[in-house]
Structure 1
Amino acid sequence: MTRTRLLAALVMAPIAIAAILLLPTPWMMAAAAVLFLAGLWEWFDLAEIEDTLSRTVLLAANLALMVAIVWASRSSTGYTYVLFQLASVIGVVWWLLALLWLQRYQFASNHESYARAFKLAAGALSVIPAWCALAWIHAAQPNGHRWLLTALAIVWAADSGAYFAGRKFGRLKLAPRVSPNKTVEGLAGGVLAGVAVGVSFAVFAGARPEQLWKVGLVALVAVLFSVVGDLFESLLKRHVGVKDSGNLIPGHGGILDRVDGVLAALPVFALGKAVLGF
């Protein structure tokens, strides 16, 4: 499994990096929308929406909201990113609320309509703010594309660091009811890897030496939020009794399995970057 996981990552990583660094922001937003909405389609499975027509309508509604945000952001001089910034703040607030949901494991765990409604709302609050944060980061000047790569590299490094540290040193369970394989040692390895990569990539993105501690702090918080995103998806999978959100990516599961941490980390990184000014 580890070999398959690495091979899949070696194929996906160059494509993702090329898109981030080479595509103009509108095209990057379009590519990210396709990826995130594909993850949302898998989310519908976890929310037990089985009817194809219902899923299609729900997906179209989320796409329409993305389009509406873009349309409403037009101005006489180009685009304003106020709505994208507001959505990012909403995303951070949502993931803080998700922590409360994680503490109440049984909440919305049944198969009633209200449980599906909560999970569908959670899907929209996860995907749309993350997409808005991605656009906000990528469009920022200077070097927005490099800062987006930095944000994503933090999550990728944290995920890999947690995986290997957990396999090597894992003893203390982090959240056994939600995700039995996650350990405190894995979390520590993920934090160290994410912060180290974040600071290193920040130099590439143009951060000044006196700003690196700020990047490290935001990277730390982003990693912790990425863990919340990962655990929340695990909670949804536990509720419906599945191991992966899909099987599209060899060794990695579905698309949502790859972007769950990203969904939570991007709004935090975007907001932290703006507040601390790097």
Structure 2
Amino acid sequence: MTQTRLLAALVMAPVAIAAILLLPTDWMMALAAIVFLMGLWEWFDLADIEDTLARAVLLVAHLALMVTMVWASRAPSGFTFVLFQLMTVIGVVWWLLALFWLGRHRFASDHDTHARVFKLAAGALAVIPAWCALGWLHASDATASIIPGVPKGHLWLLTALMIVWAADTGAYFVGRKFGRRKLSPQISPNKTVEGLLGGLAVAVLAGLGFALLTGAGAAQLPAIAAAALIAGLFSVVGDLFESLLKRHAGVKDSGHLIPGHGGVLDRLDGVLAALPAFALAKAVLGF
């Protein structure tokens, strides 16, 4: 299984990196919308929305919201990201509230009552703000980085994603080698405190390393390290929340589209939480 995961990652990673670095923001957002909506389709399945027509209607409604936000953000002087920034803040607030849900892991586990409403709302609050944060980050700085032809904003988005991937990979290997204390055995029995700490350390190192590609100076590195740590912590919350949904649904993976990785949502869970956190931290800390 590890070999299959590695081969799939070797195919997906270069494609994702090339898209982030080379595509203009509007095309990047369009591509991201497709991927995020694929993950949302799997989220509907975890929320026990079995009717295909109902899921299609819900998906179109989310797409319409995305299109409406883009249309409403047009201005005579160009495109404004105010709505996207507002949604990013809403996303950060949602993931902080999600911590309370994780602490009461049986809440909304009964799909015969109100659970679907809560989980559908959670899906919207996870996917839409993450997509908005992605667009905001990608367009955040049009000045040249140390990589010729690549704007700094593109590299900031890549940095945010690398933080998530590093946190996940670091937690996996450190947890396997040194993991003793369970992090949340009732939600995700394989996650350990040692894995969490190792993943966060690797995430901070990845954030600092990729931030240097943007031309970040030494004075900015403490703020970048803090943002990477915050994003790494939020990615764990996103990962745990998807694990909670899967536990409620009684499934191991959100889907089977990606060999060795499960579904699209299995690759996006940490990203959905970390993107708004990193984008807001970047804006607040001023780097």
The alignment's TM-score, normalised by the length of structure 1, stands at 0.99
Partner SS state of residue 181, structure 1 = strand
Q: CA deviation at 1:38?
A: 0.1
Q: Which residue of 2 aligns with 1:249?
A: 258
Q: 1:234 is matched with which residue: 243, 253, 267?
A: 243
Q: Which residue of 1 aligns with 2:200?
A: 191
> What is the deviation of 1:167?
1.1
Q: Give CA-to-partner distance per residue, 1:104-142, whole Å, 9 cap, x none.
A: 011000012411000000000000000000000001113
| CA distance in structure 2 between the aligned counterparts of 1:178 and 1:118, rounded to whole angstroms | 18
Counterpart in the other structure of 1:124 = 124
How far apart, CA to CA, are the structure 1 residues paired with 2:87 and 2:81?
Answer: 10
Q: What residue is the counterpart of 2:18 in the other structure?
A: 18
- Taking the aligned partners of 2:172 and 2:259, their CA distance within structure 1 comes to 16
State the match for 2:146 in structure 1.
none
* Larger mean Cα displacement after TM superposition, 111-120 or 97-106: 111-120
Structure 1 stretch displaced more, 125-134 or 138-147: 138-147
SS in 1 for 2:190: strand
Deviates more, 1:105-114 or 1:188-197: 105-114
- Distance between the aligned counterparts of 2:90 and 2:155, measured in 1? 24
- d(CA) in 1 for partners of 2:85, 2:52: 33
Letter of the 2:107 partner, please give it: F
Aligned to 2:70: 70
Residues 190-224 of structure 1, C-alpha deviation per residue, up to 9 Å, x if partnerless?
Answer: 10110000001000022111001100000001000
1:259 to 2:281 alignment: no
Identity percentage of aligned residues: 73
Corresponding letter in the other structure for 2:132 = C
> In the alignment, which residue of structure 2 is the partner of 1:56?
56
Counterpart of 2:149 in structure 1 is none
CA distance in 1, matches of 2:190, 2:162: 23
Query: Structure 2 unaligned runs (5+)?
Result: 144-151
Residue of structure 2 in register with 1:99 after alignment: 99
How far, CA to CA, are the matches of 1:115 and 1:34 in structure 2? 26
**Structure 1: any 5+ residue segments left out of the alignment?**
none
Q: Distance in 2 between matches of 1:170 and 1:202?
A: 29
Corresponding residue of 2:114? 114
- How far apart, in 2, do the equivalents of 1:66 and 1:264 lie? 18
Preserved contact between residue 32 and residue 131 of structure 1 (Cα < 8 Å)? yes
Does structure 2 conserve the Cα–Cα contact (< 8 Å) formed by 1:226 and 1:265?
Answer: yes
Which residue number corresponds to residue 285 of structure 2? 276
Q: AA paired with 1:74?
A: R
Is 1:155 aligned to residue 164 of structure 2? yes
Count the aligned residue pairs.
Answer: 278
> Is the partner of 1:140 in helix, strand or coil?
coil
Which whole-Å deviations, capped at 9, do the CAs of 1:66-118 have from their partners, x for residues lacking one? 01110110000110000000000000000000000000011000012411000
- What one-letter code is carried by the residue in structure 2 that aligns with 1:3? Q
Letter in 2 for 1:152: L
Structure 2 equivalent of residue 178 of structure 1? 187
Deviations 1:132-176 (A, max 9, x none): 000000011131001000000000111110111111111110000
Q: Which residue of 1 aligns with 2:37?
A: 37
Q: Is the 8 A contact 1:40 1:256 kept in 2?
A: yes
Q: Give yes or no for contact 1:95–1:264 (8 Å, CA) kept in 2.
A: yes
Q: CA RMSD in A?
A: 0.6
3-state DSSP class of the match of 1:180? Answer: strand
Partner of 2:222: 213
Q: How far 1:52 moved relative to its partner?
A: 0.4
Give the distance between the partners of 1:104 and 1:276, measured in 2 at CA: 32
The 4+ residue runs of structure 1 with deviation greater than 6 A are none
State the secondary structure of the residue aligned to 2:216: coil
